[in-house]
Structure formats: C-alpha cells, structure tokens
Structure 1
Amino acid sequence: MEIIITGALPPKRVAEALAKEIPQDSAFIKRLQQHKATRHQLDSDLIGCTPAEYYQVQQQEFSPIAGQRYVDALPALDYPKEKLDDNHGIFTLALCNIHVDFQSTRLFPSSQLQITKEQSLALFEAVKYLFAEKKIKLIAIKSDHWVLGLPQSFAGSIASSSILSYRELHDYWPKEDHNKGLRQLLNEIQMLWHKLPVNLERKAQGLKEINSAWIYGGAHPKQILPEPTYPYAIISTLENSYRNEDWGRWLQLLPQLEKDIQTVQGNEFHQARAAAIAKANNPFSSLKPGEDSAEPEASILCRGESPSSSKKTSFLLAGFDQLIKLESLSFWERTVNNFKNSTDWKSWWHQS
C-alpha cells in the first residue's frame, strides 16, 4: 500500500525554520531520516489538478482523448461502472466559497467549509428544478460535492477546485465560447443560493457561505480502469494549514497525522470501509432524519483492495506541484552512512 501525505512539503523559504520546530525524535522526522527521496516535478497547468489528484488518476491508467487533461478523469474514479452514453462524461460539482475583493478572487474549497450532509441537501433542493430543466443527470450527492452526468461537450477541460484554491481564480475562470453553458449554469446556481436560509445560518455562525459551485471533469468511465493498479490512501490532515500557510497549526497537527497513518494501517479501518462500500449508494440513503454531521474520516481517502497488514507500506509526500517518493534506506545506508542520512533529508524536504 502507498500512503500519500498532502501538505507535507513546505516552501523552501520556511522549511529550514519549520524543521527546527519539529521534535527530532518524532515519527515524522524519523520517517524523513530513514528514507531517500525521489522528486517528481509536475506542471499543474498541464494536468489541471494537484499532485495527489494526478496520482489517483494515474493509478487507474486514464486514456485521454484530444483536449483532455488528468483532471477530467477525477470524477469518474469512484464510478467506473456508471452507465452513460458514449458522448457523455462524469463531472464533479464541488461546493465552494468564492470570495471577491479589490485585490483578488479566491476559491475556498469544501475542505475548508465544514459542510454537512443536510446543508448539501438543502442546496440541492434549491436548484433541483434547474437540473431537471437542463436534463442534468444526478449520480450522487455527498456532503461536499455532487456527481453529475453531462455531455462531454458541456465544457472544456476545467482545473479542479483543489488546485485553484492555490491560485488567483480570475485567471482560470472559463471565459471561452465553448464554456458558455458552464458559465451560465454557475451564474444561475449562484443566484439561487444567494440569501438561501442555509447560508444565512452559516453567516450567523461565522462560517463562510456556500455561495458557488465549481464544475470539472468530463471523462467517460470506460477511459479508466475499474480499480487502481495498487491500493493507496491519501491523508490530508495537514492540507488546510499548508494551504493557508498556518505553520503553527501545521506543527500542532503532526501527532494527528501519525494517528491517521496508524488508522490506515489498521484492520478496523478497512473493515469499516468495506461495510460502507457495501451500503446502498443511493444519493440520499446516507442521510438520516435529524442527522447533521460531516463525513467521518474526512482527512483519509482510500482506494483499491484493502491491503494485508503484513504488506509493505511506502510513502509519498505531496506539495502543490511536486511529489516526493520515499524509498527505504538499505541496511548499509542505515549503518555506515547513519549520520549523513540522518541530516541529509533537510536538503530535499521542501517545495522547490
């Protein structure tokens, strides 16, 4: 099994100072000391998504057609058996907050919004007639996003909401003529959600409003393998503090990161995951009357066959446009070169 830790590569300008604040006997430091690193530089404009999202698509061997990027296959990963016409694809409608001020336009992704299932359902109730009018197929409703079936021609290749949370949104707004239908749908959704009771309640609670959607995807399920080539888990415990460059909070979350790693490596987590997968996948079935909570284990995403606890685990560290694969040091490297390798990690542990 491979474990990808997002938000784990700080910018070079802060990495040295941050390293001094991490307890030197911590599991995080020991992991860096006991591995050698291979860096993979990614062009986020070319792939349209974060390194962790790129990794997921690559694991299901996406076969793009002309004009498609890796981001376009993301929504199809969990729906490889979905029945769609050949000229249709699976899209993600990500719930988000778009903040506009005099200096910039910024997208806050769902991971920063604490969206509950009931709030997601209330937002859908406000736009369901619009979906019916436009013949948009609803495949699933999750607390932080919806899954849609649409013609592949509905939109061009649109970057994911996760990668755009690191960027100036204005530069990536779909202005092209072939994205006219997409712009119109986004504008109509924004108008219907403006001053919706659920958003008035969030505002009163000091939470950001869910004032917009972001739609991306379009690949057909037949363009990917039904299962990843290798089981993996993505742990995003550090992601929000990394995105906001809140390094104090980032340091505080390191113990929780280790707990999440232990959770992924334990049998109980995978048994619970198997039970959840076996549950009916009806869009509304997971919501019980009166239930109002976020998805459990929100910082952990697993795909692939549940691994045996005896199988080897390898790690990858993800930044905003880089992946570092950690490879265990040999016995010789751990002994003869012990001192060198215990300090050498500082030369590569950063987002360059």
Structure 2
Amino acid sequence: MTDCHITAFVPGLLGPQPVLSQLSPAELPDFSALEKALSRADISDDPISDAYAGLFQLFGIEPDASGDYPAAAICQSVQQLQLENFCLRADPVHLQADMTSAVMRGHQALHLDSDEAQQLVESINQHLHQDGLQLIMGQPHHWYLSLPSAPGIETSPLPSLLLQDINSHLPRGESAGDWRRLMNEVQMLLYDHPINQQREAEGRLTVNSLWLWGGGYQPEQSSVHWHHIYTDDWLLDALARFHHVPSEDLPESIETLLQDCHGEVLLHIEDCLQPLREQDPFAWVAAVQQFQTLWLQPLLAALQQNRYQRLTLLPADGQRYELTRHTLRRWWRRRRPLVKWVSDGI
C-alpha cells in the first residue's frame, strides 16, 4: 500500500437540490455505491460549505474585511504581471438583459482571441485614464485593475454567477455607487465598439460589460499539505501554482492517478455544480451518477484493494466523509438512500 490519502472535492454532490424528494425511486438511478460510502464513512464538521470559497479554504486563505477572496492578486502573480498593491479582476462578460434580469455569460461563451481582447482593453483604457485607472490584460479573458488602496466595495465572484441573474450581486459598499457608474460608462463604450459590431455580424456574443470581482492584496505563500492536485478549474490551478504544488488536468482514469499516488492528493470534480445553478434536477442526477461511475466506484475498489490509505469526500456541505478499508466493512450500518443525504437548501 502506498502512503497516499486522496481527497475528492466535489461541490454540489449533495445539493442543495430542493426537488429531489419529489422524484420517484423509478426516476433515480442506482446510487448504492455512493449511499454505501456515505453511510459507512466517519463524518465530521468541515469549514467548507461553498464551492468558490472552498478553493481558497483548501489553502488556508481567509477573505478580507469585505468578504472577498484575493483571486485577482493570486492569478496575476501566477501570470507574472507583477502588479502591486490592491488587485481587482475586471473580466469581459456578456450580459443578456430583459425587463427584470441580466444573466451573465463568461469566457466559455465569448471565445475572445488576443487581438480582440487587446483592442477592447486599449479602448477602455482611453476612458479609464481620466480616473487614473489602467486595465491590464493577463489573458484574453483575464483582465485586471491595480489600485493604490482597497476600493471600498464588496464583490461577488464571477465563477459562481455564470448563467445567473446578476442584479442582486453588483458591487456593494461605501464606494459602490462610483464603481457601478464606471461599469455603466464602460457598457456604453462597448455598445457600438467595432469589435462588438463585427462579432454581432458574425453571430457571436458581444463583450458588453466588465465584471469586477476577486479583489485583495497578495497573500503570503504559506506551506500547504497538498502533494499533487488534479483539476480542470483554472482558479484552483492558479492557487496550486501560487503555492508551488504540482497541478494537472483531471486524469483519464483513477488508474492513471494511482500509478503515482503518494502523500496528500486533491481531486477536484465540479460537474455537479452547473446543473444546480441551472436548477435542472435531471442534469444534476446524471452528473452525480457520472461521478459515482467514473470516480467513486474505482476509488472504492482501489481502497478495498489496499492501494491507498484513505479517501475523503468534500461535497462543500459543511461536512467531510472519511473512508478507509476498515470503515467500508461496517456492514451493520444501514444504507440510507441518497435523498436522505441531499440538502434541500431550505
């Protein structure tokens, strides 16, 4: 047996999913492997109860006084932009507005190339210059503002708001009015920008706003216990590289991971999140079933074969579920159906 402990961070695995109890057993797949694991695990309280904040908590990073986590400062450091002082993300987005809501779409839908991004940044900077601000492009979809001091606002993280109505998540705080005004001015500038006119003519989404979020000062690089991280998430990858932890895309199979498994290994799977945000219970059920088939069942089989020491499940529900070969043998623990484990969010 290798000296390996695998932590699977799977936000959304246990909801909240308010309508799950309304589905009949016939509408639910066989979740016996997941139900068995949860029922036989050692369960304890865990501070992680949010998918976004949990990424920082995995590295012991605390929010600032406004409640924001320093995503901008960490990402610009990894991209070697050498920005100093307070750093704020100001990312290009598309807001799809109607009479009552404005739904945000990010880089996954925009597909900005470097030339387009650079032209948009240059135009916005001509306007920002009068306020003593400068927009810096790290990547086509990663834009930054470096500020001499904290801006006096609380923001909401872009990753948590994709395909969501943003009206209740605009900047808040003592200087919120000034920053909302600036965002409105940028929206007006972008409205008839040549790049957007071309994109619209080609049937592509326009870049019609900036989203301010992730502000803070660069934290200290503390020692962390992770030896290896597997993730397809760009922010977790940036956090790993900031702390000098090897990071790779998710492996093709658990077998690939186990071939070189040692120390504390973090496996990040976020497929359950978007169905929850879209309030699609059937897509969420399919994502949980996929997690069980592709990841959990092979992990449990390898644990039973003594190929690693311990599996910890972190579903970002405020608890952790720890399993070993010995806990898996707790046959006397009655298996509870998944509906009994899933939070209804109420």
Which band: TM-score by shorter chain? 0.5 to 0.7
In the TM superposition, residue 215 of structure 1 has moved relative to its aligned partner by 0.7
- Tell me if 1:314 matches 2:312: yes
* Residue type of the alignment partner of 1:3: A
The verdict on how the C-alpha distance between 1:63 and 1:172 changes in structure 2, with shifts beyond 3 A counting, is closer
CA distance in 2, matches of 1:242, 1:111: 20
- Tell me if 1:146 matches 2:139: no
In the TM superposition, residue 244 of structure 1 has moved relative to its aligned partner by 0.8
In the TM superposition, residue 106 of structure 1 has moved relative to its aligned partner by 3.3
CA distance in 2, matches of 1:345, 1:331: 22
Q: 1:10 aligns with which of 10, 15, 21?
A: 15
SS of equivalent residue, structure 1 residue 146: strand
CA distance in 2, matches of 1:351, 1:64: 27
Task: Give the number of aligned pairs.
Answer: 288
SS of equivalent residue, structure 1 residue 335: coil
SS of equivalent residue, structure 2 residue 314: strand
In the TM superposition, residue 225 of structure 1 has moved relative to its aligned partner by 2.9
SS of equivalent residue, structure 2 residue 216: coil
- Tell me if 1:113 matches 2:109: yes
What does 1:180-329 align with in structure 2 at a 5 Å threshold?
180-196=177-193, 198-200=195-197, 203=200, 208-221=205-218, 223-225=219-221, 228-230=224-226, 231=229, 232-254=266-288, 257=291, 261=295, 312-318=310-316, 322-328=317-323
Q: Deviations over 1:22-52 (max 9, x none)?
A: 431676556545545546688xxxxxxx812
* Residue type of the alignment partner of 1:115: H
CA distance in 1, matches of 2:38, 2:202: 40
CA contact (8 A) 1:158 1:215 kept: yes
* Residue type of the alignment partner of 1:239: L
1:331 maps to which residue?
Answer: 326
Q: Deviations over 1:276-334 (max 9, x none)?
A: xxxxxxxxxxxxxxxxxxxxxxxxxxxxxxxxx9575422113xxx4442222673663
CA distance in 1, matches of 2:201, 2:35: 42
- Tell me if 1:52 matches 2:51: yes
Q: Deviations over 1:123-152 (max 9, x none)?
A: 435424345553426261243x32332233
1:346 maps to which residue?
Answer: 339
CA distance in 1, matches of 2:148, 2:134: 9
CA distance in 2, matches of 1:33, 1:329: 13
The verdict on how the C-alpha distance between 1:168 and 1:27 changes in structure 2, with shifts beyond 3 A counting, is same
CA distance in 2, matches of 1:351, 1:40: 19
Superposition CA RMSD, Å: 4.0
CA contact (8 A) 1:140 1:148 kept: no
What does 1:80-99 align with in structure 2 at a 5 Å threshold?
83-85=82-84, 88-99=85-96
CA distance in 2, matches of 1:77, 1:182: 22
In the TM superposition, residue 227 of structure 1 has moved relative to its aligned partner by 6.0
CA contact (8 A) 2:17 2:281 kept: no
The verdict on how the C-alpha distance between 1:168 and 1:317 changes in structure 2, with shifts beyond 3 A counting, is same
* Residue type of the alignment partner of 2:58: Q
What are structure 2's unaligned runs of at least 5 residues?
1-5, 230-265, 300-306
CA contact (8 A) 1:33 1:344 kept: no
1:173 maps to which residue?
Answer: 170
The verdict on how the C-alpha distance between 1:114 and 1:220 changes in structure 2, with shifts beyond 3 A counting, is same
Q: Which has the larger radius of gyration?
A: 2
CA distance in 2, matches of 1:26, 1:199: 50
CA distance in 1, matches of 2:171, 2:70: 18
SS of equivalent residue, structure 2 residue 70: helix
In the TM superposition, residue 344 of structure 1 has moved relative to its aligned partner by 5.2
* Residue type of the alignment partner of 2:270: S
* Residue type of the alignment partner of 2:315: L
CA distance in 2, matches of 1:61, 1:255: 31
TM-score by length of 1: 0.64
Stretch of structure 1 that moved more, 26-35 or 9-18: 26-35
CA distance in 1, matches of 2:181, 2:332: 61
Q: Deviations over 1:46-89 (max 9, x none)?
A: xxxx8122122223333566x331x232323345576555xx21
What does 1:24-63 align with in structure 2 at a 5 Å threshold?
24=30, 31-32=37-38, 35=41, 37-38=43-44, 51-62=50-61
In the TM superposition, residue 5 of structure 1 has moved relative to its aligned partner by 1.8
SS of equivalent residue, structure 2 residue 60: coil
TM-score by length of 2: 0.65
